[in-house]
Chains A and B, each alone.
Chain A
Amino acid sequence: MASPEVPQPPMGMLAELTHRCPLQCPYCSNPVALERRRQELDTATWQRVFADAAELGVLQVHLSGGEPALRPDLPELVQACADAGLYSNLITAGVNINRARLETLADAGLDHVQLSVQGATPEVTDHIANMAGAHARKRAFAAEVTDIGLPLTLNAVIHRANLHQIDDFVELALELGARRLEIAHAQYYGWALVNRAALMPSREQVMAAVERVEAARERLQGRLVIDAVVPDYHARFPKPCMNGWGRQSLNVTPSGKVLPCHAAETIPHLEFWNVADHGLREIWYDSPAFNAYRGTDWMPETCQSCERKEIDWGGCRCQALMLTGDAAQMDPVCEKSPYHDEVQTLAVLDAAGDADFTYRRFARTTQGA
């Protein structure tokens, strides 16, 4: 029997600084049960986490949310990343950062900005984000980013309501001076799962979109880097979720819980450790949640004997749980899964649906009138 491999240190960390956000996108990757402001880690704790992350081997930190710019201490947190030698990436909606604040962030050592765009036109963006004027603000913000000289990536999550805008997203990226464009099909967890019937595209739409992306990528080689996150339910093989559980990256929630991926809390039996109680190194190597599906030992027989086991890493655990009831099942998207046909049927049914968005919001707290 082979001895268990020692896990490699992580390379990337997603830091969810807050779950608060001015936008209400119906596919938000945050959990449906959003963490509240009073639960958020303080400045000093985040500074310690960044120093620990660098020490552990993390190279890049993605400062995310919610909207990370709602934290008044964002420049100090960027500075902490820079001090630790970490590459800092600000993932923002771009609706609440003015020129002066952006300059402060750049001076603190910010390396890169990723701006979300919900649509390629004001009507689509403002509708999907449920915020009037959002698109115009994003355009103005993008202009400031490139004017200051920071590299800019546009990130577009695509689904049934904006899938027709692929070429327009590409044009927008060129016009705004982005160096990179990410076109990511919605992944159906959290809010996107709630809204699946309003978001799911048909197989034909997906294929047409993939073609548009490929054509643009070829045409713009050397001018614009286009990265695509492939659609899931319509695929033959699962995505290599996180490139393997506990293999390359970790996620810290606003309250300090450390997760193998941002959706991992949907698996109820996992035990997550918090940076308030444990060091990041200890969490990465020893916490039950990180070791639950690390490597290949946990895999069912079909995966064990599959030549793709270290390509797909068994796919996504959250999706396995969601669609089969068992997180240790093979990802049901895989054509070798006994659930594969059901997933395809489900995608077809949802694509034919006509549901309205349920916007991402904090649940109302029950208080006396």
Chain B
Amino acid sequence: MTAIQESDIVRLPRGVRLREDKQRGGWVLLAPERVFQLDGIAQTVVSEVDGERSVGTIIDRLCDTYQAPRERIAEDVTSMFAGLVEKRVLEVM
């Protein structure tokens, strides 16, 4: 499993797009010949990815949104990002 550091800056590579799916409801990540249907939390996290914020900054911002211990949010975010990096729909800059 790819390890994600809080100092890493991540971005959606070219060919990966986040968009709303009005017909089915919710949001999707469109990637080469694949569609990832995101739940509300995943959408919030992926929406934070802008190619400028560090993973640590994203975690801090999510702490403001969700009333949960930072440690837990950090764990969820880094493992989600690691999974997306492995699928090559997210890249560490």
Interface set of A (CB-CB < 8 Å, partner B): 8-9, 11-12, 56-57, 59-60, 62, 85, 87, 89, 111-112, 114, 149-151, 153, 179-180, 182, 221-222, 224-225, 227
Q: Mind listing 23 A-B residue pairs with CB under 8 Å?
A: A8-B24, A12-B35, A56-B23, A57-B23, A59-B30, A85-B19, A111-B17, A112-B32, A112-B33, A149-B14, A150-B14, A150-B15, A151-B13, A151-B14, A151-B15, A151-B16, A151-B32, A153-B32, A153-B33, A179-B32, A179-B88, A180-B32, A225-B88
Please determine whether A221 and B86 come into contact, CB atoms closer than 8 angstroms: yes
Most buried by A among B15, B30, B85: B15
Task: Decide if B33 touches A222 in the complex (CB within 8 Å).
Answer: no
A150 to B13, CA, bound (A): 10
Tell whether, in the assembled complex, residue B28 and residue A114 are in contact, meaning their CB atoms are under 8 Å apart.
no
Tell me, yes or no, whether B6 is within 8 Å of chain A by CB: no
Q: Is B2 an interface residue (CB 8 A)?
A: yes
In the complex, which residue of chain A has the Cβ closest to the Cβ of B17?
A87
Which partner residue on chain B sits nearest A54 by CB separation? Answer: B23
CA distance A227 to B33 in the complex (A): 10
Supposing A59-B28, A149-B14, A180-B88 touch, asked if A89 and B19 sit within 8 A by C-beta, the answer is: no
Q: How far is the CA of A224 from the CA of B88 in the complex (A)?
A: 8
Residues on B facing A (Cβ under 8 Å): 2, 13-17, 19, 21, 23-24, 28, 30, 32-33, 35, 85-88
Residue pair B24, A111 in contact (C-beta under 8 Å): no
Closest to B82 in A: A222
Say whether B15 contacts A112, CB under 8 Å.
yes
Instruction: Pick the residue among B14, B21, B32 that contacts A59 (CB under 8 A).
Output: B21
B residues near A227, Cβ cutoff 8 Å: 33
Q: Closest CB-CB distance, A85 to chain B, in whole Å?
A: 7
Task: Give the docked Cα–Cα distance between A331 and B69 (Å).
Answer: 52
CA distance A225 to B88 in the complex (A): 7
**Given A60-B30, A225-B88: A9 in contact with B15 (beta carbons within 8 A):** no
Q: How far is the CA of A151 from the CA of B88 in the complex (A)?
A: 11
Return chain A residues, CB-CB under 8 Å to B23: 9, 56-57
Whether A87 contacts B30 in the complex (CB less than 8 A), given A60-B35, A150-B15, comes out as yes
Taking the closest CB of chain A, its distance from the CB of B84, in whole angstroms, is 10
Q: How far is the CA of A134 from the CA of B84 in the complex (A)?
A: 35
